[in-house]
Chain A
């Protein structure tokens, strides 16, 4: 298990480095957002590889990663999401301007993510099948927000 965590750590480090290289000298709020997303990615990686059967299911590790996700999702990110840092306005940003023009819709998505992550954390330790179901719930929360509020990769 230790090995797989190391493997994840190195992949995550590469991703983060690339993300930072992209955002170097850019807006610190955008960099913070991208870093926050990397942390989701790292913890989702642990869970997703178990869900896919690439690594063996480990109840304790799954719970730990899912708790991390729930904590990250509950994190107050208000200070990151500054108006004027949308795609094409701030380096490294893929945020759509609708985040600010449709603040209520955005709030709803953030709440759905928090709920999705909490429900995943509640079931991740209950066996592989429960984890797989929880991943779909969390994934649809991520996808629903990305559908509405994230711009295309340029």
Chain B
């Protein structure tokens, strides 16, 4: 009787382990899909700006050309511990200079490192997975042109059990999706959606999360507690924000709110990016936000 139970236990345990192994296995892009992609640095600059890479990977509280040195070091407190942005400059030892284009694309759209480890979703591949692979290749080409930094990346300060990267495979299985959230029936809305939901990864801060840290798409852009634990990130749906199109466009350009306060904190970084985009892109973002359900 006990022997039979034991055998069943082992059997079920093995099935469980096999399921865990399959579900949590890092998956990468099909090499054939990306081998032929050629990036253009000039086109990549817009992707870089829209995706806000420097906002997190440059040192904190700097502006201008210094922001193009992606030395890492900014700290991001969360419910799961503190993430520290790594050096993603082209330094071959401390940055990502030894990577190839496939490594880069797998990191950005799959959240998988060149050694086959899952990245924590503090790196917003949860949004970047909607980026076109061609834009990813452009981005890679542009990043080659930026200055190197020899600053070593600092380890994340994440406690057990969240520190087990393999478990992130399960998280990805449950929550990672390439589906768009909002409908985009016009070319302007489609561009706006691409900028907001994919490159700009606006929802990562403006949408609340569930207990496991996944975005609650039912409350899309309705505002969320600031992950630092201090203050709130405001909701930006039409009803919550209450801004007209001209207000949003001006804010994304000069940073002035309709009350003539200005963006501060991390949003000031975002404005430094959106101000550099073509005017049509700011208009597309405004159109997208104004088309969101209340």
Contacts and interface: CB of A to CB of B under 8 A. Distances in A.
Question: Interface residues of A: mostly helix, strand, loop or mixed?
Answer: helix
Interface in A106-142: 132, 135-136, 138-140, 142
- Most chain B Cβ neighbours within 10 Å, of A44, A45, A105, A143: A143
A147 B250 contact: no
B217 interface: no
Interface residues of B, number: 28
A48 B254 contact: yes
Contacts of A15: 259
A41 interface: yes
Chain A's interface size range is: 20 to 34
Nearest to B250: A52
B178 interface: no
Contact of A135 (B246, B254, B269, B272): B254
B61 A140 contact: no
Interface of B: 61, 63, 226, 228, 230-232, 246-247, 249-250, 253-256, 259-266, 268-269, 271-272, 275
Interface of A: 15, 40-42, 44-45, 48, 51-54, 105, 132, 135-136, 138-140, 142-144, 146-148, 150-154
17 contacts: A42-B260, A45-B260, A48-B256, A51-B250, A132-B253, A136-B254, A139-B255, A139-B256, A139-B271, A140-B255, A147-B61, A148-B61, A150-B264, A150-B265, A152-B228, A152-B230, A152-B231
